[in-house]
Amino acid sequence: MNKLIMVVLDGLRYDTARQSMGYLNHLVEHRQAAVYKVVSELPSLSRPLYEVLLTGTPAWLNGITANHMARLSSQTSLFHLARQQGRRTAAAAYYWVSELVQRAPFHYAEDREQHNEALPIQHSKFYFDDSYPDSHLLLDGEVLRRQWDPHFLYIHPMGIDDAGHKYGADSKQYRGKAIEVDSLLAALVPGWMKEGYHVLITSDHGMNKDGQHGGTGCEEREVPLYCISPVFVPGEYSQELSQLWLAPLCCRILGIPLSSAMTMPADWEGLQL
């Protein structure tokens, strides 16, 4: 069975990723990875886009239309689909993911770390402070990987988004955080590649110079997708992808059926599935 690690770098703009993330772009240059531009769904807000990434459904359908909507998703997530096919699941992520998939509201003491084979996310470590260090969160994900050997592992650090809100996207702090996360990934991705994982690295939304997102501007909507996987022909692609396609892509890589609400194009340039 294929194993997939999906890394969502919250708040990372496409142009910042291409300019500041030397290791990931090194993999593209040396034909070890493919990179695409993804156009996020609207509204370009975090909780609605977590739902998009995990269910492949738009806000008008799934009802998660704003950040304050703390409730379980009504849709079938990647975690549900993986579990239905006997795959192991794990996540190191912001607590809003728990509220969408596990239960809502989030109980800080009870839900911070969860290990329950009956839940959609069987093994998880959730954080609730936006300034929780990316180094810690990525290590949380790596610990879950080593301990529980999941087929689908979701890793979601917040540092880039936090820096963007505090200082704006046109700041040394925002760009510096992207460089920092790239270096952290450079310590982990080679091991994942060596062990045969498929790795997708993307973002939920971008960030504007005012330190905001939620609107229709390209700086708020355009995010990267790095694909480190033999199902992609390596290289840089000009085709812009819909964010709705990422959840069904994960299903295809994992070899599990898509939900009835997911759609995926037949003309995905560079994809060999």
Say what the alpha-carbon torsion angle 200, 95, 180, 6 is, to the nearest 10 degrees: -10
Q: Check residue 273 and give its pLDDT.
A: 87
Spatial separation of the C-alpha atoms in residues 18 and 5, rounded to whole Å = 21
Ordered per-residue pLDDT tens for the chain, 273 residues: 999 999 999 999 999 999 999 999 999 999 999 999 999 999 999 999 999 999 999 999 999 999 999 999 999 999 999 999 999 999 999 999 999 999 999 999 999 999 999 999 999 999 999 999 999 999 999 999 999 999 999 999 999 999 999 999 999 999 999 999 999 999 999 999 999 999 999 999 999 999 999 999 999 999 999 999 999 999 999 999 999 999 999 999 999 999 999 999 989 999 998
Question: What are the boundaries of each domain within the chain?
Answer: 4-254
Given a contact cutoff of 8 angstroms between Cβ atoms, the answer to whether 151 and 1 are in contact is: yes
Residue 159 tokens read as: 């540092």
Count of C-beta atoms within a 10 Å radius of residue 118: 6
Cα–Cα distance list, 268 to 40, 245, 246 (Å): 17, 10, 11
**Which DSSP letter does residue 232 get?**
B
Q: Check residue 156 and give its pLDDT.
A: 98
- The architecture (CATH level 2) of 4-254 comes to 3-Layer(aba) Sandwich (3.40)
